[in-house]
Amino acid sequence: MILLKQKLAQKIEEWRPRIQNLNDKYGDVVVDQVKVSQILGGMRGIKSLITDISYLDANEGIRYRGYTLHDVFEKLPKAQGSEMPTVEALLYLFLTGDIPTDEEVSEVMDEFSKRRILPKYVYEVIDAFPPNSHPMTIFSTAILTLSRESFFGRKYKAGISKKLYWDPTYEDALNIIAKLPTIAAYIYAKLYKNNKFTPPNPDLDMAGNFAHMMGIEKPYDDVSRMHFIIHADHESGNLSAHAGHLVASSLSDIYLSISAMINALAGPLHGLANQEVLRWLQALSEEMNDEEPEEEKIKQFVWDTLNSGQVIPGYGHAVLRKTDPRYTLQREFSLKHLPNDKLFKYTSLLYKVVPPILQEHGKAKNPWPNVDAQSGVIQWHYGVKEYEFYTVLFGIGRAIGVAANIIWDRALMFPIERPKSITTKMLEDMVKK
Ligand code: CMX
């Protein structure tokens, strides 16, 4: 057993009595009240989920295991010859709450290397898709196809104690995370590169290997590390994480759960916003005749979008009330590596003009940019211009957090999720009282 799994097993044993104690002694303590507006408003803000892997503060942004994103990038061990930490180090942090040593990271890298091979039928399923299919549909299906490999599924059928559910789930989780970059790079090659697929290199870390399979030179390996790390988790209530958690709560295997998570991410109000940002930026750039951005013309374009009843993609958030630190990190990277990129200049000017316009427009509770306002511009700069593919990249990152959460859900033996619904008439009667 590798150090990561040993430490995880030990942490699980330490954690279980805390949950047991809360349940046994304080099960009737009221934590939150629910307003009518929250029932009608997508359950916004109701405190009803638990995770120790990340926490989102409306003003500060996301923390992973108590660390801000800046801390995460500073403290996690870096990939060899790289500015960025490895995804393997992040997974270690997610599962154990501890910053790993180089040796601990290298063990996880070896594990990923061993688990990376894709069965032939997955390539065949991807090949069977018609060429105009959306990459997120192919991605979700390819993951789903792997359900037949589930170790948890086999153990469950054979009969396994509930206390041990987390163990085969951990095996499934590492198996699927290790395979995602190969699935994604193969989809990219099939859809956009005439099937010219570069096979994986077993010596590279997960994100470095993804850059290698995409056939893109440095610093795209660091772009990939940064991208997967910042997208990895955003609490349990965000749509994709919640979808993954919900499906897994029925003891569906991790392939079924991660595929569901990918489907949730594929909507334009969530992960697909990164594709929408690029589509919108292209329309903006065309309107400007591809010239240097001009403030007044950009303002007009933003107003035209709003006046036609559309949202400004990449702006606003259900929880955040300040600029998303994931946006800031990518902006800092862009200022260092692509300051003269034309689309980056558009993005920078939008950062100046959009928030005051959204404030004047008066609807969005948060006028500031989110992660999606900047991620696609970096991909475009390094040659990934097929923007329909961008949400697949988000999906690889988000799978790391969702899988880690599912392992812990099983370790803490959380039950099947089942909130209560009521009828409109019941709600009307309640407010009359
Ligand atoms: N442009 C225009 N209007 C916006 C807006 C934006 N960027 N963001 C919010 N609004 C509008 C909403 O559509 C809503 O209008 P209605 O009252 O007519 O329905 C109103 O402002 C209030 O919305 P809110 O409470 O501020 O935001 P929500 O929690 O309902 O929604 C989000 C959050 C992200 C869906 C929304 O801000 C949005 O649509 N943004 C653009 C899409 C986007 O960037 N999504 C990615 C988010 C990050 C991610 O998950 O990847």
Per-residue pLDDT tens digits for 191-241: 999 999 999 998 999 999 999 999 999 999 999 999 999 999 999 999 999
Burial of 432 (0-12, 13-18, 19+ CB in 10 A): exposed
Give distance in angstroms: CA of 180 to centre of ligand 1: 29
Q: Whose CA is nearest to atom 39 of ligand 1?
A: 269
Both 310 and 202 in one domain: the answer is no
Kindly state whether residues 221 and 265 are assigned to the same domain: yes
pTM > 0.85: yes or no: yes
Query: Measured from the CB, is residue 316 less than 6 Å from ligand 1?
Result: yes
Q: pLDDT per residue over 147-195, tens digit each? A: 999 999 999 999 999 999 999 999 999 999 999 999 999 999 999 999 9
| CATH code: domain of residue 238 | 1.10.580.10
Instruction: Tell how far the Cα of 141 is from the centroid of ligand 1, in angstroms.
Output: 28
pLDDT of amino acid 291:
83
Percent composition of the chain: helix, strand, coil (DSSP 3-state, to 5): 60, 5, 35
**Domain match, 189 and 222 both:** yes
Is the residue at 79 inside a domain?
no
Same domain, 159 and 308: no
Q: From ligand 1's centre to the CA of 372, what distance in Å?
A: 13
Backbone angles phi, psi at 315, to 5 degrees: -120, 145
Q: Do 314 and 185 belong to one domain?
A: no
* Residue 368 CB–ligand 1 contact under 6 Å: no
> CA 222, CA 426: separation in Å to the nearest integer?
54
Q: How many CA atoms lie within 13 A of 227 on its CB side?
A: 30
Rg (CA), the chain: 22
Distance of CA 165 to the CA centre of its chain: 24
Q: What are the structure tokens assigned to 310, written together?
A: 């559309």
- Ligand 1: which of 276, 307, 317, 392 to mutate, judged by most atoms within 8 Å of the beta carbon? 317
Answer whether 317 contacts ligand 1 (Cβ < 6 A). yes
**Does 157 reside within a domain?**
yes
Mean pLDDT, rounded, of the chain:
97
Overall average pLDDT of the 234-257 stretch:
98
| Ligand 1 lined by 372 (C-beta under 6 Å) | yes
Q: What local confidence, expressed as pLDDT, does residue 290 receive?
A: 78
244 with 316, same domain: the answer is: no
Closest to 384 in 3D by CA, of 171, 233, 211: 211
Of residues 234, 372, 381, 409, which has the active-site annotation?
372
What CATH code is carried by the domain that includes residue 292?
A: 1.10.230.10
- Residue 89 CA to ligand 1 center (angstroms) comes to 33
The reply to whether 372 belongs to the active site is yes
Nearest CA to ligand 1 atom 23: 364
263: containing domain? 102-270+386-411
In a domain, 42, yes or no: no
6 occurs within a structural domain = no
| Residues 242, 127 share a domain | yes
The dihedral region occupied by 5, where left means phi > 0, alpha psi between -120 and 50, and beta the remainder, is alpha
Residue 416 in domain: no
H or E segment and range at residue 56: strand 54-57
Give the per-residue pLDDT at 1.
77
> What would the pLDDT profile of 59-105 be if each residue is shown by its tens digit?
999 999 999 999 999 999 999 999 999 999 999 999 999 999 999 99
Bond preceding residue 219 cis, omega within 30 of 0? yes
- Is 295 in the same domain as 225? no
> Averaged over 343-362, what is the pLDDT?
97
Structure tokens at 125: 């399923």
- Are residue 199 and residue 213 in the same domain, yes or no? yes
Q: How many domains does the chain have?
A: 2
Residue recorded with tokens 């999606």: 372
Rounded to whole angstroms, the maximal C-alpha distance in the chain is 67
Q: Which of 317, 324, 381, 409 is catalytic?
A: 317
Residue pair 258/419 in contact by the 8 Å Cβ criterion: no
For residue 371, report the distance from its CA to the centre of ligand 1, in Å: 13
For residue 304, is it within any domain? Answer: yes
* Claim to verify: residue 121 and residue 258 sit in the same structural domain: yes
Distance 272 CA to ligand 1 centre (A): 13
Q: Is the CB of 43 under 6 A from ligand 1?
A: no
Residue 15 in domain: no
User: Is 304 annotated in the active site?
Assistant: no
185 Cα distance to chain centroid: 17
C-alpha closest to that of 413 among 230, 169, 85, 125: 169
Question: Which ligand 1 atom sits nearest the alpha carbon of residue 373?
Answer: 44
Strand partners, 85: 78
Angle at which helix 239-248 crosses helix 254-265, to 10 degrees, equals 150
**Looking at 270, 324, 381, 409, which residue is catalytic?**
270
Tell me the three state secondary structure of residue 201.
Answer: coil
Q: Label residue 279 exposed, middle or buried (CB < 10 Å: 0-12, 13-18, 19+).
A: middle
Q: Which contacts (CB < 8 Å, 24+ apart) does range 426-429 have?
A: 427/36, 427/39
